[in-house]
Structure 1
Amino acid sequence: MNTTQLERIHSGKGFIAALDQSGGSTPKALQQYGIQEDRYSNADQMFEMVHEMRTRIIKSPAFDSEYILGAILFENTMDRTIDGQFTADYLWDKKGIVPFLKVDQGLAELDNGVQLMKPIPGLDELLKRAVERHIFGTKMRSVIKEANPAGIRQVVEQQFELGKQIAAMGLVPIIEPEVDIYSADKAASEKLLKDELIRQLASLDQDVKIMLKLSIPTETNFYSDLMQDPHVIRVVALSGGYSQAEANEKLAQHQGLIASFSRALSQGLTFQQSEDEFNTMLAKSIHDIYEASIQ
């Protein structure tokens, strides 16, 4: 583990940029960027275009370590290069931004009010490649839609089981049990979730470090106690479908909680924009998310 990167993530001012749309979410990301599905005819062309989009974001002068602590990549992006360097190396060497990798393979069907992660075949091999590519940590997502105690326990147990496997490889896992922002019992789900997170944190070996990526909670500063746990490097928030303005407004109400936004970060960016227009839009988004993250 890179101790300089660890300290930056633990105590730095800024937020985590999520650039990890993959699989089924890639066409939506490209569509938001102004590239329709008729512009590409196969997966290779699609991933080439999304890498060009991410490269444009990363190379923008607005994408700066003054505001951004880390960036989450998709496996395909990790294996591609920017100006002759693997993406993770470019992020750290040229930008001073800590690289993470999304490792999950999507969500299983809804059961017990939750969606667990699908099995991740070849996870050990992927983690070994991540270490070779100088990745600092990983991210994996589950979804909670109902305040179902059994389902929420399943989600957290699965997350921590894989998190321990990831930590054993010298990487820092981002545990992401997302509570659906449209859930009718969101606050009740969050209470059950926090209880399970506390239970699992207590079971970790002393030297294991993790991060938590959670929906912006209903109750102000609800996750403050989790931030004090010695295992937890940082607690970050996903935008979860909120618009950028709404996500920023809600995030700013929670001390110590920083953003890890995806759609909210790239909102308003399009393929058709000039470099000046693109960089100006991205700079405003980054500044506004940063300000919400340091309240």
Structure 2
Amino acid sequence: MTIADELQATIEQMVQPGKGILAADESHLTIAKRFAAIKVESTEENRRVYRALLFTTPGIEDYISGVIQFEETLDQTSDDDILLPEVLARRGIVPGIKVDKGKGPLALSPGDLITYGLDGLAERLQHCKSQGARFAKWRDVYQISGHNPTSLAISANAEMLARYSAVCQELGIVPIVEPEVLIDGDHSLARCAEVIEAVQKEIFHALHRHHVVLEHIILKPSMVLPGKDHSVRASPEEIAVATLRVFRRTVPAAVPGINFLSGGLSPEQATANLNAMNVGDAPWLLSFSYGRALQQPVLQAWQGKAENVGAAQQALLKRARLNGAAQRGEYQESMENTA
């Protein structure tokens, strides 16, 4: 099988109607915060138990086509001693891996951020591939303020995403390109649209420069949203119109799938917004790659107790099913009240 064949096979398995991606790649710091909210200590064993709970949920393969994992998860096993990436693969779910090394300030550009992790990336990807990973994820972060993100931040982060994507494809690993425009702030829907349009235009210019094959990437972007402190809320329909307008201007039709991040939205909001975007026609498959919007109900049901595993898995299955319906434009709010 050629590298191109590998990439195409992964894309075909991941980009499927009615299915999306589970983001379970929380860093130690992030998962510790999630666990602290339910009074569970973030030990390696508790993280293993929780992620095994997610990956072994009965029926989850009907709605989840891929799972983004954190590095330690590749070496962890289920309760019956099967490596977690193998647990996923046996169920027809593609194992993936987060490979960026987090973010920090962009030098000489106050308020802007840059993502770390290009050093040694090829070697790390080769190792992760030997452990079963078939796609990777890299997240860049953009803060909106009166003067951020600057043109420097937009170009620098686009270059990082493109270089990462090229390394992935050279090794037969599908890159997920994640430019997250943060919901923090009081910016308007129109201001968010302006930023996302600028960010995505620069990213696709950079991908072209680095010879990245667009048919073999997945875009994981933010929806166009007003800042969480903005005085005017937007309906799912308004968000869908604004988002699709920007994406038609910036994302080539060659991209097979756009899997939105939930970025601070509630589980219900994330599902309703996705559904609104799938009511009309688009040249891409519009789906989800949610972390907290899929996992928040799971954590609340689990509470770190073995006797709650069944209820927690049912909570995950329900949210995955509702988002699968939203991917088809078939979600209705009344479905939230069904088991």
TM range (shorter): 0.7 to 0.9
Counterpart selection for 2:156 from 154, 157, 168: 154
Is 1:287 aligned to residue 289 of structure 2?
A: no
Residue number in structure 2 paired with 1:104:
100
Q: Report Cα offsets for 1:82-111 as digits up to 9, x if no partner.
A: 233322222011x11111100111111264
Residue number in structure 2 paired with 1:167:
169
CA distance in 2, matches of 1:4, 1:27: 35
CA distance in 2, matches of 1:18, 1:105: 16
Describe the shift of the 1:236–1:283 C-alpha distance in structure 2 as closer, same or farther (beyond 3 A).
Answer: same
CA distance in 2, matches of 1:249, 1:85: 36
2:65 counterpart SS class: strand
Counterpart selection for 1:262 from 285, 291, 298: 291
- Extract unaligned runs of 5+ from structure 2: 1-5, 226-241, 279-284, 330-339
Is residue 114–residue 152 contact of structure 1 (8 Å, CA) maintained in 2? no
Is 1:275 aligned to residue 309 of structure 2?
A: yes
- Extract unaligned runs of 5+ from structure 1: 41-45
Is 1:242 aligned to residue 265 of structure 2?
A: yes
Is 1:186 aligned to residue 192 of structure 2?
A: yes
Describe the shift of the 1:12–1:293 C-alpha distance in structure 2 as closer, same or farther (beyond 3 A).
Answer: closer
Is residue 53–residue 309 contact of structure 2 (8 Å, CA) maintained in 1? no
Counterpart selection for 1:143 from 141, 152, 167: 141
CA distance in 1, matches of 2:143, 2:156: 13
Describe the shift of the 1:289–1:124 C-alpha distance in structure 2 as closer, same or farther (beyond 3 A).
Answer: same
| Alpha-carbon offset, residue 12 of structure 1 | 4.0
Is residue 113–residue 145 contact of structure 1 (8 Å, CA) maintained in 2? yes
CA distance in 2, matches of 1:207, 1:68: 24
| Alpha-carbon offset, residue 242 of structure 1 | 0.8
Describe the shift of the 1:98–1:227 C-alpha distance in structure 2 as closer, same or farther (beyond 3 A).
Answer: farther
| Alpha-carbon offset, residue 11 of structure 1 | 3.8
| Alpha-carbon offset, residue 6 of structure 1 | 2.4
Is residue 166–residue 212 contact of structure 2 (8 Å, CA) maintained in 1? no
Is 1:210 aligned to residue 238 of structure 2?
A: no
AA of the residue aligned to 1:245:
E
| Alpha-carbon offset, residue 120 of structure 1 | 4.5
Please, what is the CA RMSD of the aligned residues?
2.2
| Alpha-carbon offset, residue 112 of structure 1 | 5.0
Q: Report Cα offsets for 1:160-200 as digits up to 9, x if no partner.
A: 11211121111111111100123423222111112112312
Is residue 112–residue 151 contact of structure 1 (8 Å, CA) maintained in 2? no
1:30 counterpart SS class: helix
Q: TM-score, normalised by structure 2?
A: 0.77
Describe the shift of the 1:73–1:112 C-alpha distance in structure 2 as closer, same or farther (beyond 3 A).
Answer: same
Describe the shift of the 1:199–1:206 C-alpha distance in structure 2 as closer, same or farther (beyond 3 A).
Answer: closer
Is 1:86 aligned to residue 115 of structure 2?
A: no
Q: Report Cα offsets for 1:212-239 as digits up to 9, x if no partner.
A: 1101124141324666443x23211111
Counterpart selection for 1:199 from 197, 205, 226: 205
Query: Within 5 A, what are the aligned runs for 1:18-29?
Result: 18-29=23-34
CA distance in 2, matches of 1:2, 1:165: 13
Identity of aligned residues (%): 26
CA distance in 2, matches of 1:195, 1:132: 34
1:274 counterpart SS class: helix
| Alpha-carbon offset, residue 30 of structure 1 | 1.9
Describe the shift of the 1:228–1:119 C-alpha distance in structure 2 as closer, same or farther (beyond 3 A).
Answer: closer
AA of the residue aligned to 1:242:
L
Q: TM-score, normalised by structure 1?
A: 0.87
CA distance in 1, matches of 2:212, 2:51: 37
Is residue 138–residue 164 contact of structure 2 (8 Å, CA) maintained in 1? no
